[in-house]
Amino acid sequence: MILKIPNLLTSDELTLCQQVLLAAQWTDGNVTAGYQSSQAKNNIQLPENSQEARQLGDIIMAALARSDLFMSAALPLKIFPPLFNCYQGGHSFGIHVDNAIRQVPGTPVKIRTDISMTVFLNDPDDYDGGELVIEDTYGSHEVKLAAGSVVLYPSTSLHKVTAVTRGRRLASFFWLQSMVHSDEKRRILFDLDSSIQTLHEQVKDSPEIIKLTGVYHNLIREWSNT
């Protein structure tokens, strides 16, 4: 499932992120790439243990925590600390698949990458190119969202970032391990939860909605691997 969430960040949060990133010191993006990805990756990145990365990462984590849509779609168990990159001057990232397991730096915590996320941190008019292209069974999907918006997609997907030929593309990228490993099952749960919420707005306190809510939670019990 590919899901776009507009306006994850507030305007004040977005402004702060942009100010910090434009003043930051960057390093080679290959510091977080695996062998396969390193052959295709060409960008720059904030050092993941830098004060700036931690500050902006906290902002994004707080924004995710208040997003009901994110919680419903992702069912997060563990989230890798957000990373930040910049594409400019022809930078691109060729077709690749994300590493299956990520270890949080400086800790023994390992995260299975079920869902990949990109938070766009500047407007698409600021740069040419830089589309995130995600491939699935239905074909290729180009994603280039407004600043402050996020896209979620299965980490099993082949994907790439096209060359930025003008301006700079600023973004955060990271992964999460879901309570429900299967993308197909998460989609079913998301559709069911969305339908329950819509019905609840239309028909208050219906016994049938209570039953459906019970089905939803029992499915999570059945399918979760926590």
Q: What is the pLDDT of residue 205?
A: 78
Q: Which domains does the chain have, with CATH numbers?
A: 3-178 (2.60.120.620), 183-223 (4.10.860.20)
pLDDT digits (tens, 9 = 90+) for 136-170: 888 999 999 999 999 999 999 999 999 999 999 99
Contacts of 66 by beta carbon, 8 Å cutoff, 6+ apart: none
* pLDDT for 30 beyond 80: no
pTM of the model: 0.92
pLDDT digits (tens, 9 = 90+) for 53-85: 999 999 999 999 999 999 999 999 999 999 999
The residues facing 93 across adjacent strands are: 41, 161
Secondary structure tally for the chain: helices H, strands E? 6, 17
CA 31 to chain CA mean position, Å: 19
Question: How many whole angstroms separate alpha carbon 160 and alpha carbon 189?
Answer: 28
Q: How many alpha carbons fall within 13 Å on the CB side of residue 50?
A: 17
pLDDT digits (tens, 9 = 90+) for 86-106: 999 999 999 999 999 999 999
Q: What is the pLDDT of residue 206?
A: 87
Residue 97 contacts residue 153 (beta carbons within 8 Å): no
The residues facing 133 across adjacent strands are: 142, 160
- Looking up tokens 């010191």 gives 25
Q: Where are the alpha helices (DSSP H) in the chain?
A: 11-23, 35-38, 51-65, 68-74, 183-202, 207-223
Q: Regarding beta strands 110-112 and 101-103, do their DSSP bridges make them parallel or antiparallel, or are they unpaired?
A: antiparallel
Q: Where are the alpha helices (DSSP H) in 50-128?
A: 51-65, 68-74
Radius of gyration of the chain (CA): 18
CB burial of residue 163 (10 Å; 0-12, 13-18, 19+) = middle
Residue 95 contacts residue 131 (beta carbons within 8 Å): no
Question: How many whole angstroms separate alpha carbon 105 and alpha carbon 44?
Answer: 19
